[in-house]
Amino acid sequence: MKRSQRWRWGGILLALMAMAGCSASHKKTATPEPIGMQLRRLDPQSRWTRYDVLLSFESESDRAFVVGDPAAGQVDARIAHAGQCGLFLPGGTRQIDIKLSSLLRGRKDIGEWTLAGAFVFADQPLIIHVAYWSGGKSWGGRAVPIPARQWTALFVDLTGVDRDAPAGVLQLRPEGSAAIHLDDVTLVDNRRVLVDSTTDGSGLEGWRIIRRGFAIDGDAPGRFRFALETPESAPNGWVIQQVNALRALFVSEDKTKTLCIYPDGRAYWDGNYRPMGSMERYGQAIAQQHDDPAEVQVLDEGGKLNRSTRGDANHDGYNECLGAYQLTAAGWRLQVRMTPRTARLVLPVLEIAGLPDGKVQVTVEGRLVDQWERLEDGSVLVVIPARLQRSTLIDIRVKGVD
């Protein structure tokens, strides 16, 4: 072979490598966003503190863990989710098996991971059915629409997986003829305790709300439990808007837009009272006071009953969607007089905007009560731990402010 021919062959070989392969010397102009950032964007609600990228396709050997049917995938440098390379699967691929069992060598099961998945990119829009298979059973199956030319997270919820089952296969079944790029096969632990007031020793009715996989699980021990799907698992799933020891608020794009739950079991679905668990202990009292809220008189100058909050259907200051009276303070203190319009006013809830920062002190007819929370927007949420049968003076003040 002449020297010029060798150069030419070498040049063609290099061009092919740059086009289809992944070499360490290959440079991309744009700096890829770190995978941790991408995972956070995928789920801004949760801090994805623990994740493990099992396959990044930066090495040819990563290909061995993915079986494409009918054609095997190729490590490819044209499009990558992170790093320089991804795995390319030609149009017409019917099934892609990612062998987590081999990747998790040394670990016999999927352990505490709550999500498994990868990022995919396609030239044309398509739907990919994804599920986790182990021991002849599948878990977390879902159909994910993949828009054209956009990296999309394709994850399954592992929380229901039998933890004794051996690690299995993550299976993707594309519906459509688009060619697919796959990158960053990742395990994630997105378990997050949103609130746990069951052990705070305050004597209040505690509850625990945990976000795990694509679900939100609530447990008020001995009283009620609830489970909500998040938008990743149901098209109109619930998004967490507020969770604390006194209240949880979820929103959805579905027909029912808001769900507000209190640890005592009160629940308001778009402003309709439909409690969790058994509410025998309150009888009809809460339903009655929801339909016929108490009269609230603000005694401080400048303070007022706020009649224009979102969810207050009839602008009377009692927000049906939140089951709470809406107040605005003009200074460090707010005094209100509540007069029941029903036989009893059970555990009324007040939400007060405009109070300065600091520790809040609440008294009912001079008696100190301790059920309040400072919300993210600075307002103060107070549950009056009483059954009021007559006009009652409630005083809310921020201590240490003159």
Give the binding site for Ca ion (CB under 5 A): 56-57, 80, 83, 183, 312, 314, 316, 318
The angle at the Cα of 283, spanning 281 to 287, to the nearest 5 degrees, equals: 125
Q: Which of 394, 155, 153 is closest to 294 using CA atoms? A: 394
CB of residue 85 vs Ca ion: minimum separation in angstroms?
A: 5
Question: For Ca ion, which is the closer residue by CB, 86 or 213?
Answer: 86
Instruction: Enumerate residues 6+ apart whose C-beta is below 8 A from 360.
Output: 372, 374, 380, 382, 396, 397, 398, 399
Q: Which of 52, 62, 55 is closest to 21 using CA atoms? A: 62
Q: What share of the chain is helix, strand, coil (3-state, %, to 5)?
A: 10, 40, 50
CB of residue 5 vs Ca ion: minimum separation in angstroms?
A: 35
CB of residue 318 vs Ca ion: minimum separation in angstroms?
A: 4
Burial label, 399 (beta-carbon count in 10 A; 0-12, 13-18, 19+): exposed
Q: Does residue 70 have a cis bond before it (omega within 30 degrees)? A: yes
The angle at the Cα of 327, spanning 324 to 332, to the nearest 5 degrees, equals: 130
Question: For Ca ion, which is the closer residue by CB, 262 or 318?
Answer: 318
CB of residue 82 vs Ca ion: minimum separation in angstroms?
A: 5
CB of residue 277 vs Ca ion: minimum separation in angstroms?
A: 25
Question: For Ca ion, which is the closer residue by CB, 234 or 305?
Answer: 305
**Do 238 and 253 touch, CB atoms closer than 8 A?**
no
Question: For Ca ion, which is the closer residue by CB, 26 or 47?
Answer: 26
Question: CA-based diameter of the chain, in Å?
Answer: 106
Question: For Ca ion, which is the closer residue by CB, 184 or 189?
Answer: 184
- 326 vs 307: CA distance, rounded Å: 7
CB of residue 234 vs Ca ion: minimum separation in angstroms?
A: 30
Question: For Ca ion, which is the closer residue by CB, 83 or 263?
Answer: 83
- 115 vs 4: CA distance, rounded Å: 54
DSSP string of 335-361, one letter each residue: EEEEE-SSS-EES-EEEEESPPSS-EE
Residues in the chain: 402
Q: By Cβ distance, which residue is nearest to Ca ion?
A: 83
| b/e sequence 38-74, b meaning 16+ C-beta within 10 Å | bbeebbeebebeebebbbbbbeeebbebbebeeeebb
3-class SS at 226?
strand
Question: For Ca ion, which is the closer residue by CB, 113 or 121?
Answer: 121
Question: For Ca ion, which is the closer residue by CB, 26 or 50?
Answer: 26
CB of residue 305 vs Ca ion: minimum separation in angstroms?
A: 11
Question: For Ca ion, which is the closer residue by CB, 83 or 140?
Answer: 83
CB of residue 347 vs Ca ion: minimum separation in angstroms?
A: 18
CB of residue 286 vs Ca ion: minimum separation in angstroms?
A: 15
Structure tokens at 333: 């203190």
CB of residue 342 vs Ca ion: minimum separation in angstroms?
A: 15
Question: For Ca ion, which is the closer residue by CB, 99 or 211?
Answer: 99
CA dihedral 173, 43, 47, 373 (to 10 degrees): -140
